[in-house]
Structure formats: structure tokens, C-alpha cells
Amino acid sequence: MDGEKRGLAVKTSDPYDLLIIGAGQAGPPLAIDLAKRGWRIALAERKQLGGSCVNFGCTPTKAVLASARVLHLARRGHEFGLRIPEVEPDFAAVLDRARGIVLQSRAGLREAIADQSNLTLLEGHARFEGRDRNGFRLRVGERRVLASQVVLDTGTRSRVPRILGLDAIDFLTAENWLDRPDLPAHLAVLGGGYTGLEMAQFYRRMGSRVTVVEETAEIAGREDEDVSRALRRLLESEEIEFRLEEVVERARQDGDAIHLSLKRKRRQESLVVSHVFVATGRLPNTDDLGLESLDLKTGKDGTIEVSRRLSTKVRGVWAVGDIRGGPMFTHTAWDDYRVLASQLAGDHSRTTERIVPYAIYTDPQLGRVGMTVKEARKAGRKVRVGRFELRRNGKAKEIGETEGFIQVITDARSDRILGAAVLCAEGAELVHLFVDVMNAKGRSAAIRGAIHIHPTLAEAVQSAVFALE
């Protein structure tokens, strides 16, 4: 029931130059940037500042993965000549550490917003009510807002599959895992994508038995098969179980046990676990924004179609971050801020035509940029592929991190780098050697001709380029 029906006065603000709905990775920097330029800005957020990255995604997941890695290294102490008789995780303390970092990040963001003149933080759910000659009319909580232009940065939530009985189970998702202090005895992770694999390894290293259920033939399905298989074998070496080409059809709670009915082709199978983590994709938060009042429609997947300049089909309404479709990463959302700042108050030069790297933060990490081998060949490119195994790198041997490989793909005619997969220790860092050369429209010869410090893992990047010959 709204304020008018309860007999409350509904406040109406003076017009803002721009209202940003959502305080994820694009919204706050855009708000601060434009406010510094003299724009009158409002930033609306219904929950917590920072979006998914700060509150339950990047920040806390990488924090707990760091704890899991320290634990894993301690257990490997004998490999380094160390006697560590016993090491055990304090699961609740691991989560507490991550929550502390979340709170610090959130507080820092609130302080940055509060320190900025021309910028108003509106707390509450924002919804369009229509438009007129003065701009767009919206409701934010109990306040009516007028804005000349609006930016949508509302992010995504976990996409929950239609599984009979699942709604009766208190399952884990990306949004709630940080608030569950009890370590699962046996965790079923539904989905073999980026989130599923990272969380599977985290819980396994903490002591849970883990089974990953993936409906396709391989995990990390966007990658080349050799990369996906290698990643799976590395995780299997830590006793993570994979049930591939299986679909969960039913879920039933029986005391402390959860019974999952699985279908593999024409065969029915079962799996009994203590907990379920749903990691089957993301759903855009676009279903309760009042877009119908603007006749702004979403796609079947809930995303909003935008141009390469991030404009929607309604003039004056822009969409950034995960809801605009395409790569759903924190760093692309942040770059959306730069694209939109360029369009609204700059030289209009920046667009979404860009090179987007990404990583899977398993241990070892997978850093990726550009095309896979199969994508390049499907596009009709004549390619060269260079591959170097980390077990042949001096630094990898010295630090005990010899698992994985580096693979680079170049155009056979121009020598331009088309893509790279870096599956090794610090793969998310090392891939940037390829990213920077690709952004400079450089050739693999730029890496081949450089001098890399010895001993470093970066030498393995150069070795992969040498393998092209």
C-alpha cells in the first residue's frame, strides 16, 4: 500500500538532471563523476550500496577463497619441507572475515557518496510512473522524483530453475551463502559455471563433500574443450565429484537429507545430500521497474536492449551493468560508467565495442580474453595456437605451482593476438599481458621480443608465444 492510501504525504523533489537506479559498479562512480561536473544527481538504492560484487559476489567470495587457499597450502606444507602437524578451518571465522571486508567496502562507498555535493542518495525501491514534458516521473520509496534522464543499474539475482519440490528446501544461492555459518556435510552445486566451480572448491577445501551437477557435457561450457577438461581434472584431484549431462527433476527434504532425482538421458538416478547451492545463472532485476509506463520492453531473458552507447529505445533512459545483456562482469559494469560518462558529458568516443577479459577464480585460476580456438575457427580465421605447460617453467617449480598451461591464439596472417587462456597460478593476473597487447592492437611479436624477468610466471606467457613458431 503506498503512502497516499495510508494517508501519508508523498514528498516530491525538484527535478534532477539525472536519476540513477541502483548503486552497483556503474552507478556510484557515474553519480560522483557527473556531480563533480555540476549535474544535480540522485542515486536510488533499495538494499545495500555496492551491488552484487561488494555484498555477496566478488568481495566476499574472493575473501573466502583466499582463506581456502591458505588452508590448502598449509596442508601441502610437507611439499615445501615444513612440518605442520594439523590445520583445521574455522568456517564461521572465515565467513566473519569476509563479512568484515564487505562492511568496510560498503562504508567506504557510503562515505564517498555523502562527501559529494550535488549528489543525493535516495533509499528505497524506484519505479517509473510515466513521463511528461519535464522528464520522467518516478516513485522512490515514499518520495516522488522528477528526472530529465534516468540510468538503470539494477543488476541481477540468482536464476532458480523449475525443479519440483525445490521451493520447499532452504537452498543456498549467491545472495545468501555468506549468512549460512554451518558447513554443509555434502553439498550439491547445481551448475558448472563460474560461480558454481568457485564455490565448489571453497566448500570442498573447508571440508564439505561436494558434487557438481551440470546438464551439459562439460563444465565451463564457453571454453575450449581442452581447457574445460583440464579445469575439471584439477578439481577432481581435490575429490570434487562431477555429474555431467544430468538434470535435476525433483528435490525432497527428509529430515537432514535432501533427495535429488536426476535424469541422465533416459536413465533415472538419485543423489542424497545435506545442502544444495543453486548456481544456474542470473536473472535481470527488470521486472518491477514500471517499464511498461514508458512502453519499454525487455527481452525474453529479462535484459534491456541497448545500443553500443548504452541508450535504450526510450530517449533519455540508459541501461548499464548486467541488465543490458552481454558479458556480466563487475569490470564491464564499471567500464559502462566510462562509456556513459563519455556519452553524457564527454566526447562520445567510448562505446561497448571493447575487449572484455574475465577469470574463474578457482585455484589455479583461469584467466581468459578474446576468442577461443573453436570460436576463431568457426569465424573462418586461419589461426596459430601456442601452448606452454607450467611444469616447464622455473618459477612454477620453485613455488610448487606447476599445474596448468597457457594457450595463445593468433591470426596466422597478421600475427594479431585473437585470444588466450591462462590456466595456472595467478592466471587472472597473467592474462593481462595479452589483454594490454590486444587493446594496443599489437602482435604477438611484441611479447616475443620483450625481456621478461627471470624467474617469473610471466616468462611462461612469453614461452607460449614462442610455441607459436
Tens digit of each residue's pLDDT (9 = 90 or more) over 41-68: 999 999 999 999 999 999 999 999 999 9
Query: What's the CATH code of the domain at 377?
Result: 3.30.390.30
Calculate mean pLDDT across residues 138-156: 96
Contact 123, 142 (CB under 8 A): no
Cβ neighbors of 272 (< 8 A, separation 6 or more) are 186, 257, 258, 259, 260
85 in any annotated domain: no
Q: Write out pLDDT tens, residues 329-346.
A: 999 999 999 999 999 999
190 backbone dihedrals φ, ψ, rounded to 5° = -90, 105
Residues 152, 243 share a domain = no
The pTM for the full model equals: 0.94
Contact 189, 277 (CB under 8 A): yes
Residue with cell 566473519: 96
Residues 434, 446 share a domain = yes
Residues 183, 41 share a domain = no
Contact 248, 160 (CB under 8 A): no
Output the pLDDT for position 11. Answer: 55
Q: Write out pLDDT tens, residues 279-303.
A: 999 999 999 999 999 999 999 999 9
Calculate mean pLDDT across residues 418-446: 98
Asked whether residue 7 carries a pLDDT value surpassing 50, the answer given is no
Measured from the Cβ of residue 330, the count of other Cβ atoms closer than 10 Å reads 20
Output the pLDDT for position 134. Answer: 83
Output the pLDDT for position 12. Answer: 57
Query: What's the CATH code of the domain at 294?
Result: 3.50.50.60
Integer Cα distance of 141 and 8 in angstroms: 12
Q: 1: pLDDT confidence band, cut at 50, 70 and 90?
A: very low
Output the pLDDT for position 424. Answer: 98
63 in any annotated domain: no
Amino acid letter for position 239: E
Residues 414, 451 share a domain = yes
435 in any annotated domain: yes
Residues 118, 49 share a domain = yes
Return the closest-CA partner of residue 68 out of 42, 98, 43: 98
Residues 287, 208 share a domain = no
Calculate mean pLDDT across residues 146-154: 97
Output the pLDDT for position 190. Answer: 98
Residues 432, 413 share a domain = yes
Asked whether residue 221 carries a pLDDT value surpassing 60, the answer given is yes
Q: Are strands 186-190 and 275-278 parallel, antiparallel or unpaired?
A: parallel
Asked whether residue 8 carries a pLDDT value surpassing 50, the answer given is no
Residues 140, 275 share a domain = no
Query: In total, how many domains does the chain have?
Result: 3
Q: What residue numbers bound the domain in which 194 lies?
A: 166-280
Residues 242, 269 share a domain = yes
Calculate mean pLDDT across residues 414-441: 98
Integer Cα distance of 392 and 402 in angstroms: 8
Residues 332, 424 share a domain = no
DSSP letter at 447 equals H
Q: Decide which of 227, 259, 280 is a domain's last residue.
A: 280
410 in any annotated domain: yes
Integer Cα distance of 132 and 135 in angstroms: 5
446 in any annotated domain: yes
Calculate mean pLDDT across residues 16-25: 97
Amino acid letter for position 402: T
Output the pLDDT for position 13. Answer: 59
235 in any annotated domain: yes
Q: Decide which of 345, 372, 388 is a domain's last residue.
A: 345
Residue with cell 525538484: 14
Q: Give the 3-state secondary structure of residue 97.
A: helix
Q: 218: pLDDT confidence band, cut at 50, 70 and 90?
A: very high
Q: 266: pLDDT confidence band, cut at 50, 70 and 90?
A: confident
Q: Write out pLDDT tens, residues 344-375.
A: 999 999 999 999 999 999 999 999 999 999 99
Q: Decide which of 227, 245, 280 is a domain's last residue.
A: 280
Output the pLDDT for position 469. Answer: 74
Residues 287, 274 share a domain = no
354 in any annotated domain: no
- Mean of the per-residue pLDDT values for the chain? 95
Integer Cα distance of 22 and 152 in angstroms: 7
The least confident of 90-104, 127-141, 395-409 is 127-141
151 in any annotated domain: yes
Query: Where are the strands (E) in 133-194, listed by range?
Result: 135-140, 143-152, 156-158, 186-190
Residues 185, 253 share a domain = yes
